Amino acid sequence: MTRILEAELAVTAQCELAEGPVWDVSRGLLWWVDILVGHVHTVDPVSGARTSFDAGDPVGAVGLTRSGGLVLALVDGFALADHDGQRLTRVPGFSIDRAALRFNDGKPDPWGSFWAGTMAWDETGSPPGSLYRLTPDGVITELFGDVGLSNGLDWTDDRRLFYYADSTSGRVDVFDTDPDTGALSGRRPFVTVPRADGDPDGLTLDAEGCVWLAVWDSGELRRYTPDGRLDTVVRLPARQVTSAAFGGPDLGTLYITTARQGYTDADRRQQPHAGDIFACTPGVTGRLPFLFAG
């Protein structure tokens, strides 16, 4: 039987589009972005202390670096910054058409690079987006195109599998990866979310190799075993569930981001905690986040 859990309110964030949570082990902080307004947030779950900075542009994702700084996917390119957002510097020589596309979700990979994908502003998948990789020496490569809405991504600990969600397709796909280089091959469907249920959004893997998938417009975070079986559903009082990350001293707390994008006043009254951060303890731990080596 599918296990049902309930998430509890962790942070009254009231973001329009909270996304991309990541746990900062060295500082004991949870990071996330509010994409469209371009804000990068942190919270200390112990003290409740919060910080934020304005990236100056919409920001699709934030990652941590091995040197203690940040790597960012801004609206049309990549950037590096200090941990407090100071000395934000764009990676030169690359940009996408920001009038038609924007960067969305992204993460550092096990090899020290940073991956992030794009989507059309109108969210119809036209023009198509792509998935890109930024290497530590500043080289940016398009890994593949024909993406509708690039979303959740993560790798297994043995570096042999890569999970990737294209929301427009309604699927999470899995690739084989070269454990030495990260090269992709053998793309195939992992799970399909029925259109009536919502859209696959952000995702993270736990220490058992299971996939926790945020399902947009469902009010649910879903856990799938490596063979694609649904075994746990976390319910939230906000329908626009966007992503999740494990955190806390033992990596045993699952933090879940939500949104209220396009909501009317009536929608916000009905879902007053849409755009907040939620948490639950599912009885399984996560893994340390991968770090960008640049």
**Residues with a known catalytic role:** 201
Please, is 12 exposed, middle or buried when counting C-beta atoms within 10 Å of its C-beta (0-12, 13-18, 19+)?
Answer: exposed
Q: Which residues of 39-72 are buried (b: 16+ CB within 10 A; e: fewer)?
A: bbbbbebeeeeeeebebebbbbbbbbbeeebbbb
Please, is 134 exposed, middle or buried when counting C-beta atoms within 10 Å of its C-beta (0-12, 13-18, 19+)?
Answer: buried
For residue 4, the cross-strand partners are: 233
Q: Which two tokens stand for residue 132?
A: 């890109």
Q: Do 255 and 43 contact (CB within 8 A), yes or no?
A: no
Cis check: omega of the bond before 127, within 30 degrees of 0 = yes
Compute the distance between CA of residue 271 and CA of residue 194 in angstroms, rounded to an integer.
23
Q: How many CB atoms lie within 10 A of CB 262?
A: 9
Q: Which residues of 213-250 are buried (b: 16+ CB within 10 A; e: fewer)?
A: bbbbebbbbbbbeeeeeeebbbebbbbbbbbbbbbbee
Compute the distance between CA of residue 102 and CA of residue 273 in angstroms, rounded to an integer.
26
Q: Which two tokens stand for residue 196?
A: 């009536």
Q: Which two tokens stand for residue 260?
A: 């209220």
Give phi and psi for 196, each to the nearest 5. -70, -20
- Give the contacts of 229 (CB within 8 A, at least 6 positions apart): none
